Chain A
Amino acid sequence: MTEEKGTKSAPAKKQKINLNRVEMPKQSEHERRHNFDEVALGYTWELAKEEASRCIQCKKRPCQQGCPVNIDIPDFIAALQREDVEEAARILKRKTSLPGVCGRVCPQELQCENACTLNKKGAPVAIGRLERFIADWERTQGAPTMPEMAPSTGKKVAVVGSGPSGLTVASDLAILGHQVVLFEALHVAGGVLMYGIPQFRLPKEIVQREVQYVQSLGVDLRLNTVIGINYSLDELLRTDYDAVYLAPGAGLPKFLGVPGENLNMVYSANEFLTRTNLMKAYRYPEYATPIKMGKKVAVIGGGNVAMDAARCAVRLGAQEVYVIYRRTRAEMPARLEEVENAEEEGIEFHFLCNPTAFLSDGRNNVAAMELIRMKLTEPDESGRRRPVPIPGSEYILDVDTVVVSLGTSPNPLIPSTTPDLNVTRWGTVVTDERGRTSKARVWAGGDIVSGGATVISAMGEGRIAAASMHEFLSNGQKKIIPPSPATDDPKTL
């Protein structure tokens, strides 16, 4: 990865450390329970300036190192300190095509903000909120900053999946002069950003703006096209394309495998969220897709997906929403900010319990679930405290809707139609550290490789793969089509 060193940041004078993190205004708890509008309202220019002024412009740039795509954080903050938002936007766009998305959903508390020097004093610079401010400013005030485009190389690349990983590779390769076709199975681009993450956390208009930006770079977006059905991977490679990047995500929902799990009104989080967000069921009947939900909704799981499902249920009018998680609050994988938001919205958390069966109302609708209490064992070698059931502690909880939110695994569609693509036993595609798969001219990244991670890691893997693909495409090996037996060691390709 090339390091940008050109822009000299603002004078790093001796500065007094200001530990007053500027809060971001939010919709009130009461109000937001009844709408799908964005919860966090974003900084005003005044607030953004004030927060930016807290940055002490560390020489060693720990924040930047903490960022999976290596955004020039001190530089864009310096530009804000100079009140040059346009320049800040340009700096941001050098490393991310999706700043409006990253600024909203990245787990900054674990990444850049965790590494920030001020974090030692408990008040890291609110990098994510500043990023969001700049992206929103650019969207509403300025013309989008366009990168410099390399002349056409005559090489053609197929990118499969238009989630954050696919969008990143598509834009990177387009900027480098390659012709890019981006295939998407659904009728809109954006992946989980569109069908999973709710409007109140990530407005869909913002995702679409960023998709349009990628298209404006000359990327040819083909919706409604399923790779593995409409074209196999081999067909793509045999016909028009010099290389392929696979980013179909991990969309196959997991289930508990307990009795009654297929009863009516037991949803997978994917169905519940897709109906609500992508298909806009919260605006039914203006939008044709309905969503049926009862009064007492139980969401099983403790990740971001569970928080999203629970908070959607609140907004869709549920009277009681429970989150059922088998460990404790401390082990919940969801972002702290979203857990707090959920608590404020009146969601009830039930820790240390796990469903063992779903019970029918006699007409095959779910009416209750049986839960068993759990306790955490001593940490094992991996350091994680494993939950184990307490025998005989079963009890019943009345519910009329359940959303199972236990995570997802990769959809086997592409591997099953591509026999020489190496996958693990979890179905994830095997790659080397540069994103190369076992199959020649095929790279992969994002959730299909990680099995489910974050937006920014999906983008980071895309960035690395795009660099590797560019190297391959620029090598002038126009006619070289390396053989690709399944036994190829990805490391030696």
Chain B
Amino acid sequence: MYSIVEHEVLAPRVHRLRVQAPVVAEKAKPGQFVILIIDEKGERVPFTISDWDSEAGTVDFVFIEVGKTTQQLATMQPGDQLLSFIGPLGRPAEVGQFGHVVSVLSGYGIAAMVPILKALKDNGNTLTTIVQAPDQDRLFGQKPLEELSDTLILALGTQGDGMMESTTVAMRKLLNQHPKRRIDRVIAMCSLCLMRVLSEMTRPYAIKTMVHLTPVMVDGTGMCGACRLSVGRTNRFACVHGPEFDGHEVDGWEVLMARRCTYADESILQQGFQCRGCSQW
């Protein structure tokens, strides 16, 4: 059993949990994820590691309430136990010395990208971060992003305080300055549709664009094949070869999105979740 040691509500329907899991904390790297099961009747669900402390043996993740498991998780309190907590799964994100890195975040990506940004910062990169949220109320985790980013752009649609921008408009502006203000790499951890659009935007500029793909998963170790997708015309398993992939190489975004929503009609769509196909804002 794995104890919950902290539970913080970050924004409406957004929670951070800290779990005692020394074996996971020991090996965690930026961009990796865990799979947890709440109890004997629970589902196996993946969450990206947003922080860890190998000395204390704890692992943090941030999640958004979308369906049964995440709603149940939202009710859990310090002292409660999770049946299973497996990780760190997936390949760590690529963090090198790239130069100017633009990252685009939404939903849980706002928190889950932080370890990657830290590592990029440690490697001496210049960071521009674009954050998308539906409105000011649902923006969270601004502080670490401010500290880590050289430029932080908030894209809160029209509802934000004086912030009229959308993610793609912000991105377009940055791309218009390229190559004078050179962009060396783009990393996106946001909704599938947005990652797809971003990949298309950067393609003409040949700016390497890494996307964090989250197909439905079951085992998370390469056994079930649920998370397969086509990258560079070959079959890849997101849980083993990803979740970070080169966005320009991803084929068949439509298929990926359809597969991602296999179970959506019974859960999120029914609850009137406005997502047009995926569980991220």
Contacts and interface: CB of A to CB of B under 8 A. Distances in A.
Contacts of B24: 230
Interface string A258-283: 00001111011011001100011000
B222 interface: yes
A187 B84 contact: yes
Given A229-B89, A288-B42, A288-B43, A413 B222 contact: yes
A186 interface: yes
Contact of A185 (B38, B69, B86, B252): B86
Interface in B34-57: 37-38, 41-44
A364 B69 contact: no
A279 B266 CA distance: 18
A279 B43 contact: yes
Given A223-B84, A270-B225, A264 B262 contact: yes
27 contacts: A187-B86, A224-B84, A224-B85, A225-B86, A226-B86, A226-B89, A229-B27, A264-B259, A264-B262, A265-B262, A267-B226, A268-B225, A270-B224, A270-B225, A271-B218, A274-B218, A274-B219, A279-B43, A279-B44, A286-B41, A287-B41, A289-B43, A290-B266, A364-B254, A364-B258, A411-B222, A413-B221
A290 B224 contact: no
Nearest to B254: A364
Contacts of A195: 223
Contacts of B226: 267-268, 271
A365 interface: yes
A288 B41 contact: yes
Closest 10 CB pairs of A and B: A268-B225, A364-B258, A251-B223, A187-B84, A288-B43, A271-B224, A253-B225, A264-B258, A271-B226, A289-B43
The size class of the interface chain A forms with chain B is 35 or more
Query: Which of B37, B89, B226, B240 has the largest count of A CB atoms less than 10 A from its CB?
Result: B226
A263 B225 contact: no
Contacts of B123: none
B127 to A, nearest CB: 29
B222 A251 contact: yes
Contacts of B68: 285, 288
A280 B42 CA distance: 10
A30 interface: no
B275 interface: no
A14 interface: no
Contact of A263 (B44, B218, B255): B255
Contacts, number: 106
A306 to B, nearest CB: 15
A315 to B, nearest CB: 19
A152 B171 CA distance: 66
Given A263-B258, A279-B44, A279-B218, A290 B235 contact: no
A411 B261 CA distance: 27
A125 B50 CA distance: 60
A363 B221 CA distance: 29
B81 to A, nearest CB: 13
A207 to B, nearest CB: 16
Nearest to A225: B23
Interface in B86-114: 86-89
Contacts of B259: 262, 264, 364
A413 B261 CA distance: 28
A411 B221 contact: yes
A478 interface: no
Chain A interface, >50% SS class: loop
Contacts of A365: 258
B270 to A, nearest CB: 12
Contacts of A288: 38, 41-43, 68-69
A270 B263 contact: no
Contacts of B42: 288
A252 interface: yes
A224 B86 contact: yes
Contacts of A226: 86, 89, 221
Contacts of A363: 258
Contacts of B84: 187, 223-224
Given A187-B44, A230-B23, A262-B252, 6 more contacts: A185-B86, A185-B219, A187-B86, A224-B84, A270-B224, A271-B225
B155 interface: no
B228 A275 contact: no
A255 B258 contact: no
Given A287-B41, A288-B68, A262 B228 contact: yes
A224 B44 CA distance: 12
A119 B34 CA distance: 53
A63 B83 CA distance: 44
Contact of B255 (A264, A279, A287): A264
Interface in B225-281: 225-226, 228-230, 235, 240, 252, 254-255, 257-259, 261-263, 266
B262 A255 contact: no
A80 to B, nearest CB: 37
Interface in B183-240: 218-219, 221-226, 228-230, 235, 240
Interface string B54-80: 000000000000001100000000000
Contacts of B83: 187
A275 B218 CA distance: 8
A468 B91 CA distance: 36
B37 to A, nearest CB: 6
A59 interface: no
Contacts of A255: 225, 228, 235
Contacts of A411: 221-223
A187 B222 contact: no
Contacts of B38: 288
A364 B226 CA distance: 15
Contacts of A253: 223-225
Contact of B44 (A264, A286, A289): A289
Contact of A230 (B27, B43, B230, B258): B27
Interface in A363-394: 363-365
A268 B261 CA distance: 17
A292 interface: yes
A364 B255 contact: yes
B223 A270 contact: yes
Contact of A268 (B69, B224, B252, B257): B224
Nearest to B235: A255
Contacts of B43: 279, 287-289
